[in-house]
Every structure is written in C-alpha cells, then in structure tokens.
Amino acid sequence: MQPTIAADVRFLLEHQAPGGAYLASPSFSQYPFGWLRDGAFIAHALDHVGERESAAAFHGWVARAVMRLEDDVHALIEARAAGAVADHERMLPTRFTPEGHAEPGAGWPDFQLDGYGQWLWSLAEHARGYSLPEDVRAGATLVTQYLAAFWDEPCYDAWEEGRTQHHTATLASVSAGLRAAAGLLDSAPAVVAAAQAAAESAWRFVLERCVVDGCFCKSVRNPAVDASLVWLATPLRLVDDADPIFERTLARVELDLLRPDGLLRFQTDTFYGGGAWLLLSAGLAWHHARAGRRERAAELLALVERQRGGDGGLPEQVPTEGTDPWFLDYWTRRWGPSASPLSWSHAMVVLARCELDGARAGRSRRGSPEHTALR
C-alpha cells in the first residue's frame, strides 16, 4: 500500500464510530453524523484495501438503523399502495446519529433517496462471495422494498438541494442499488421481482427524461450537467465508458465544471461560494483510471494532493476560479470554515489510487472483471 493511502485508510478507520458509522467530518460542527451516501463510498474504499471488518460494521450499523424504523417504512409503503401522496416528513432520513438514530429538527433537508441506492450497491459489492448476516439481509430487504415503492418520488439530490425535482444521479443510484439488491436477495422472490422491475423503470425513466441534446442532464427540465453524473459509469456501471451519451456527458462535465483546483459540483453552486470538491476530482480520476486513461487520472490526483492540509487532511472543497466571494463569506460566517478533513474525500482518493495501482499492475485488486482497470 502506498504511504499516502495508508494514512488515508488510517484516517477513515480512526473516525469510524464504535457502532460502525463513518462520521462525515469529525471536526466540522455540522457533520457529526453518518450519511449513507458518504458511508457507502467509504465502505467500498475500505473493502478495496482489505478492511472488510470495518465495512461489515458499517453495513451492520445501517441495517440496524433502518430496522428501527421498520414499522414506519411498512406504513409508508402501504399508504403508497393505497394511493396516498408520500409524506416527505416521514421518509427515511439521509443521515443518522453515530448511535443509529434519525436526527430530526437540525434544519437540514432530509428526504434523499440516492444514499439508499448507493448503500445497496456498496453492500452487494461487499458481499460478493460471502453470505450476508441475517440482520443485514433484513435491513437490505426493507430498503429494497422502500426504493421499489418510492423510486419515482421527487426528492433532494446528492447535494441536498432541489426538493421537487427528479435528479439523474439519484434515479441512477436507485436503479443501480435495486439491480444489485436483486442479485443479493435471491432468497426473497417477490422482493427480487419488485426490485428488478423498479430498477428497469428507473433506468428507462433516465433514458427517456434525463437526456438532453445527447447528454445526461442534471435533472428533469434542467439541461445543465452535474459532476455526480460521472457515477453513472464509475462506480455504478449503468453505462459503458464508451457509451456515446456518457462520453458526451463526460466531455461537458470537464468543459463546464473543471477549474484549476478541481471539479465543481455544478455551475450555479452557492454552498461556500461553489468551490472545487476534492471527492469529485478524485472520483473523476477513478473513472479515467478505470477507463485506461492513466495519465489523466494521475494529473487529477496530483491536483487533489496539492490541497492536502499540513496534517495530511483532505477538505471537502477549496475556493477556485469563479468561486463567489459573497456566498463564501456567508457560509463561513454561518458555519465556520468548510469541512476539513472530510472522510468521503479520503475514500475517493483511496479508490482512485487503488484503480491506478491496479492499472499499473495490469490487474484488479479484487480480481473481479468489474474492477479490471485496463480495457
């Protein structure tokens, strides 16, 4: 393991709560919670470097957290089946306390489906060749039923914005998660059938409603691009690297969102003025490495490395060309400097580095065709 990866892995392990949660940013006042989205990627990174126990503890934590809300979820699904309009205040939360409890009333938007899809995907990757503990299987079954019922409900996106929209990366995450769950839960035929049907419907919806001028777009009726669209290929594998719609999307993401310090989330971002997000630059490096473009991946990773703090920590974002000073000041006065270090940034660097090293060695770390870097 490269020394930098070793430090990143150590950081992630040290900031895992005793119950299994990965805290988003232990030093940032607003992020002392475990997000499913961040955690799904972190667990995947730790699986890549052989830290299976840590990933297993995370998956167990998620399963216990959602099973505490089992009755609520069944009630929501029944109401939906009876034709009721979904009550967004009662949907599963996007983050939990380290003890695995929903954390209401922090004034944050909460109804977001993408993290649940990413969790199922990450869990299925984790479980390849292993059988799932019963409690984790129960949690995954519940989440699968929930997503199969609510996949087309408009909700906040991966950036916790746009409550009444259909976001492409959210629909894609849900589709990939349900597809993965169908393979994982083969002992529950009715759940598997519902998961397969919803996975297909969600993906068809993306192709029919989230493609504008031959490019995937940020959300329905919004033709802009968003950096989370890279996830459609890496890691979700919903499209091939060479898929023409994806290739055009990737070119546009780089043209519209890549700045001297890395990748923006989207052009009109105002959170801390809209900086360059390290986890997205590293995610783009991961994709290029997987597609065999090693030099491009190395350049992007070098960009990320330049932004390590003196203690080796990787921030969430850094101001860059075009960052709006008014909004940077506004958020800094409101919440203090933006999150640093951010666990998810460290995880994405580990994944990109693993892919690059795998490419160098001409083989995948995990030996499965899906993780083979060179084509």
* Positions in the binding site for ligand BGC (CB under 6 A): 24, 31, 35, 37-38, 158-160, 344
Nearest of 361, 339, 354 to residue 47 by alpha carbon: 354
Catalytic residue among 99, 103, 152, 160: 160
Catalytic residue among 157, 226, 269, 355: 157
At 41 the three-state DSSP class reads helix
Judged by beta carbon, residue 46 or residue 195, the one nearer ligand BGC is: 46
| CA 275 distance to own-chain centroid | 19
Judged by beta carbon, residue 81 or residue 106, the one nearer ligand BGC is: 106
Q: What is the DSSP string of 189-203?
A: HHHHHHHHHHHHHHH
- Cα–Cα distances in angstroms (integers) from residue 185 to residues 33, 67, 73, 280, in the given order: 28, 16, 18, 31
Judged by beta carbon, residue 30 or residue 196, the one nearer ligand BGC is: 30
DSSP 8-state code for residue 214: T
Residue 255 tokens read as: 């043209």
Q: What is the DSSP string of 234-288?
A: TTT-SS-TT-HHHHHHHHHHHHHHEETTEE-S-TT--GGGT-EEHHHHHHHHHHH
Question: Treating both helix axes as pointing N-terminal to C-terminal, what angle do 114-127 and 134-150 enclose, rounded to 10 degrees?
Answer: 140
Query: How would you list the strands of the sheet with 276-277, edge to edge?
Result: 258-259, 262-263, 276-277, 317-318
Is-catalytic flag, 99? no
Judged by beta carbon, residue 37 or residue 287, the one nearer ligand BGC is: 37
Q: How far is the CB of 51 from ligand BGC (least distance, A)?
A: 20
Q: How far is the CB of 37 from ligand BGC (least distance, A)?
A: 5
Is-catalytic flag, 316? yes
Q: How far is the CB of 62 from ligand BGC (least distance, A)?
A: 14
Residue 352: exposure state from Cβ atoms within 10 A (0-12, 13-18, ≥19): buried
Residue 116 phi/psi, 5-degree rounding, is -70, -40
Q: How far is the CB of 105 from ligand BGC (least distance, A)?
A: 18
Q: How far is the CB of 328 from ligand BGC (least distance, A)?
A: 15
Q: How far is the CB of 40 from ligand BGC (least distance, A)?
A: 10
DSSP 8-state code for residue 300: H
Q: How far is the CB of 244 from ligand BGC (least distance, A)?
A: 29
Cβ-closest position to ligand BGC: 24
Is-catalytic flag, 14? no
Length of the chain: 375
Nearest of 153, 167, 25 to residue 80 by alpha carbon: 153
CA pair distance 209, 116, nearest whole angstrom: 22
- The residues annotated with a catalytic role in the active site are 157, 160, 316
